A and B are shown apart, each in its own frame.
Chain A
Amino acid sequence: MRFTLHAHLHTLLTQAGIAAHDHSTQLPCLDIAVAQWTATAKLASEAKLRLVALWAEQEGDGYTVHAAFAHKDHGYALTRTTLDAATGEFPSITTYYVAAARMERVIHDLFGLIPGGHPDTRPWLKHEHWPQNAFPLRKTFAAATALPRVDGRYPFIEAEGDGVYEIPVGPVHAGIIEPGHFRFLAVGELILNLEERLGYVHKGIEKAMEGRDVPAGARLAARVSGDATVAHSWAYCQAAEQAAGIAIPRRAVALRAVLCERERLANHIGDIGAICNDAAWSFMHMQCQRLREDLARTHQRLFGHRLLMDCIQAGGLARDVDDDGIRQLLTQTRAVAAEMRELYDTYENHTPIRERVIDSGKVTAADAVDIGLLGYVGRSVEQDSDARRDAAYAPYDRHPPQLAVCRGGDVAARLWVRFAEIQDSARLIETLLLDLPDGAVQTAWQAPRDTGCGFAVIESWRGEIVTWVRLATHGAIDRCYIRDPSMINWLGLELAAREVPVPDFPLNNKSFNCSYSGHDL
């Protein structure tokens, strides 16, 4: 994976008179004094770096806060700052990066560290009934602690004025979907403001990771977000393998990508159908769900799981695929891609659906940059980024994707990118399978004796996933941080929903399809 941004950022910081200590061990990392943390963020934002992730960890009695940055031409860079143990405060960088706002609130919720100068100090994952002094990711906090319920209230944003009214929706939504709360401020039919309230499916995944060995942690990683189980497993395993210094067979690397691209196919196809269904076009829905089911059945037959859950394991893959299986994958992938080309043609010429999706739920390119929108949501509004190309992790270093990037930022643009990505995934699957290396698909997992650290980014169908793992001695997980793309992209939906008629919100929500579980952890 590409870390050339590390040296580039180090030079920029030095030129700006900011002391950055190169603390590179297994991972390149720049140590920044806490007093220079905001200056670093300001510089990074001026250099047009994207904020990738922001997280904290406890080392002994002290805490560090980490930030990862990326640039499409330079790859990734990691920075960290050690907090003053007495205050437990770190400066907020929300002024320079909008996406930092929620990640800093999460750090506050789970570690009790205070983001100084943060404009919004309301708890985020910790709902109103949580005791204020419970900080689950502190080492002194036992995972099994039964917390009492306390009285509390979450102050939503309010609006005054003639004809402004509120619509509370959720957490139990009308449909077979995940829970979350949306608070709409509306005037007539149009949405004035959408405020998301998430955290309902916070299951304590990061805490549950602590103390597990790496193979046991992989079972949790596969269940961060069931629709992206392959990509999350891959990110976790790649980070853990890096931390343990384990190299996996080339055949396993290629097959991981095949599974990840198949997952992209299944989700893009399923969602295209579901989006059309939200605009009452059930023809496309039925066609797409049929194709998705075809993919799932092949996965069941060849890999033993319809969603490919637990197929990627630390050290490689749970099972290999034989020549006949490869033929089945190739044939089906080609057939599905051809059907989707035909369905795209139908979609493009079907005026009723086009009228619903064109110009609905627009995000501007400037807002997309500010938020750092990821995946197809970002690419539908001129954000030319994709971890497969920008991090250049194997096997995409040899088989890069051809990105579909467009203007528009509306539902139609998000659909267009996904139709295009189906074709490119099919091309990648074919390329990878025709060039599949021989050999084993598994290196025996060996717990390292020493401590270690790993950082992986994987482009899931939804966008870039980040997983950062620190192993204690003998391979037990000391800390595992996961950043699902939804942590960023949910912010985009709030902007897209403005000026949208309330009945068109489901259409927009589905066109983003952010994960609740991946966000809430």
Chain B
Amino acid sequence: MKIFRKILRTGVITEPPARPDAEIEDLGKQISTMIQRRYRGSLAIRMVDAGSCNACELEIHALNNPYYDLERFGIHFVASPRHADMLLVTGPVTRNMETALKMTLAAVAEPTLVVAVGDCAACGGEFGESYASLGAVNNVIPVDAVIRGCPPTPLSLLHGLLAVLGRQS
């Protein structure tokens, strides 16, 4: 009974996407329509950490918390690249992850969207290019879009994802 009491007292805390400004609302509607049309209402994302410090992962996780609740837009994270429409890639790509990243991309059915998430994935970030780091994701696999930030906040991830999909339609 305690669980039910807690659930009832917590209530629904899910917020309208980001600040409920007209731009997001509009974009949100377009995206839902577009996901409905192009992805049959469901966009599956496979997330690949190719060398990140784990900060980007924390913020991507946050997208699933009850405040953002990404799934209500028809976007969900999947365990296998075989099930994915999109790869979210974080980190500067390390030398030791190069092969795994390429193999993951190869396992995704075409057409695939690749989104580089975070400053490291965008340009190498604080780690740059070195004997151990190949830098930007784009140096290793073709990238369709970039979401900047160190790490990007859930809000900027949301903005970024909606924009990426918007551009595809």
Is the CB of B138 closer than 8 A to any CB of chain A? no
Query: Residue-by-residue, is B51-80 near A (CB-CB < 8 Å gives 1, otherwise 0)?
Result: 111111111111011110000000001011
Which residues of the partner chain B approach A287 to less than 8 Å between Cβ atoms? Answer: 6, 10
B128 at the interface (CB under 8 A from A): yes
Q: Are A203 and B94 in contact (CB under 8 A)?
A: yes
Q: Does A164 contact B (CB under 8 A)?
A: no
- Interchain CA distance A207-B127 in the complex, whole Å: 10
Pairwise interchain contact B53-A225, C-beta atoms closer than 8 A = yes
Most chain-A CB neighbours within 10 Å: which of B49, B62, B125? B49
Partner of A290, one of B13, B77, B99, B133: B13
Is A223 located at the chain interface by the 8 A CB criterion? yes
What separation, in Å, do the CA atoms of A10 and B72 have in the docked complex? 64
Q: Is the CB of B66 within 8 A of A517?
A: no
CB B68 to nearest CB in A, in angstroms, measures 8
Query: Known contacts being A171-B100, A201-B96, A226-B52, is A346 close to B130, with CB within 8 Å?
Result: no
Q: How large is the interface on B (under 10, 10 to 19, 20 to 34, 35 or more residues)?
A: 35 or more
Q: Can you name the residue of chain A whose Cβ is closest to the Cβ of B54?
A: A226
Q: Which residues of B contact A227 (CB under 8 A)?
A: 54-55, 58
Closest A residue to B63 by CB, please name it.
A176
B139 to chain A, nearest CB (A): 12
Given A136-B131, A208-B128, A346-B3, check contact A517 B100 (CB 8 Å): no
CB-contact partner of B132 in A204, A223, A292, A293, under 8 A:
A204
CB-CB contacts of B78-113 with A at 8 A, as 1s and 0s?
Answer: 011100000000011011110110001000000000
CB within 8 Å of A: which B1-32 residues: 2-3, 6-7, 10, 13
Contact A179 B130 (CB under 8 A): no
Which residues of B have CB within 8 Å of A300?
A: 153
If A144-B129, A226-B52, A515-B54 touch, whether A346 touches B6 (CB-CB below 8 Å) is yes
Q: Tell me if A177 is interfacial: C-beta within 8 Å of chain B.
A: yes
Q: Mark A339-381, 1 if CB is under 8 A from B, else 0.
A: 0001101100110000000000000000000000000000000
Given contacts A200-B94, A226-B52, contact A177 B131 (CB under 8 A): no
Q: Contact: B133 with A203, CB < 8 Å?
A: yes
CB distance from B98 to the nearest CB of A (A): 9
Is the Cβ of A203 less than 8 Å from the Cβ of B54? no
Contact of A293 among B55, B67, B80, B97 (CB under 8 A): B67
Asked if A201 and B80 sit within 8 Å, CB to CB, the answer is no
Q: With an 8 A cutoff between CB atoms, is B47 at the interface?
A: yes
Given A200-B100, A283-B7, A289-B64, A143:B131 Cβ within 8 A = yes
- If A172-B104, A290-B65 touch, does A202 touch B53 (CB 8 Å cutoff)? no
Q: Give the A interface residue count (CB, 8 A).
A: 59
Q: A179-B50, A201-B96 are in contact. Are A289 and B131 (CB under 8 A)?
A: no
Cβ of B67 and Cβ of A290 under 8 Å apart? yes
Say if the beta carbon of A500 comes within 8 Å of chain B: no
Report A297-312 CB contacts with B as 1/0, cut-off 8 Å.
0001000001101000
Expressed in whole angstroms, the minimum distance between the Cβ of A34 and any Cβ of chain B is 29
Given contacts A179-B49, A227-B55, A342-B6, contact A127 B131 (CB under 8 A): no
B79 touching A174 by the CB < 8 A rule?
yes
Interface membership of A229, Cβ < 8 A: yes
Closest residue to A228 on the B side, CB-wise?
Answer: B54
Q: Are B132 and A176 in contact (CB under 8 A)?
A: no
B48 within 8 Å of A (CB atoms): yes
Instruction: Report B53 CB to chain A, min CB distance, Å.
Output: 4
Contact B7 A178 (CB under 8 A): no
Contact A141 B131 (CB under 8 A): yes
A279–B57 alpha-carbon span in the complex (Å): 21
Q: How far is the CA of A289 from the CA of B63 in the complex (A)?
A: 10
Contact across chains for B130 and A178 when beta carbons are under 8 A apart: no
Residue contact B57 to A176, C-beta cutoff 8 Å: yes
Contacts of A145 in B (CB 8 A): 130-131
Q: Does B150 contact A (CB under 8 A)?
A: yes
From 128 to 155 in chain A, residues with beta carbon under 8 angstroms from any chain B beta carbon are: 129-130, 134, 136, 141, 143-147
Judge whether A207 and B97 touch: CB under 8 Å. Answer: no
- Cα(A191)–Cα(B84), bound, Å: 30
Q: How far is the CB of B160 from chain A (nearest CB, A)?
A: 16
Q: In chain B between 123 and 151, which residues have their CB closer than 8 angstroms to a CB of chain A?
A: 125-133, 150-151
Q: How far in angstroms is the closest Cβ of chain B from A460?
A: 13
User: Contact at A127–B96, with CB atoms within 8 Å?
Assistant: yes
A residues near B7, Cβ cutoff 8 Å: 283
Is there contact, CB below 8 Å, between B52 and A178?
yes
Which of A175, A200, A289 contacts B97 (CB under 8 A)? A200
Give the distance in Å from the alpha carbon of A378 to the alpha carbon of B51 in the complex. 28
Q: Complex Cα distance A250/B27, Å?
A: 49
- Which residues 365-422 in A have Cβ within 8 Å of B in the complex? none
Chain A residues positioned under 8 Å from B127 (CB to CB): 203-205, 208, 220, 223
Determine whether the beta carbon of A176 is less than 8 Å from that of B77.
Answer: yes
CB-CB < 8 A to B48: which residues of A? Answer: 172, 179
Distance to closest chain B CB from A256 (angstroms): 19
> Closest Cβ of chain A: how far from B67's Cβ, in Å?
5
Tell me if B54 and A225 are in contact (CB < 8 A).
yes
Sample 10 A-B pairs with CB under 8 A, ordered by A number. Answer: A129-B99, A175-B79, A176-B60, A203-B132, A207-B130, A207-B132, A223-B125, A223-B126, A289-B65, A346-B2
20 additional A-B residue pairs with CB within 8 Å, beyond A203-B132, A309-B55:
A127-B95, A127-B96, A146-B131, A175-B77, A176-B47, A176-B77, A178-B49, A202-B94, A202-B95, A208-B128, A225-B54, A227-B54, A270-B61, A283-B7, A286-B65, A289-B61, A292-B62, A346-B2, A515-B54, A517-B54
B: residues with CB less than 8 A from A are: 2-3, 6-7, 10, 13, 47-62, 64-67, 77, 79-81, 91-92, 94-97, 99-100, 104, 125-133, 150-151, 153
The 8 closest A-B pairs by CB, nearest first: A226-B55, A204-B132, A174-B79, A289-B65, A226-B53, A226-B54, A223-B53, A145-B131
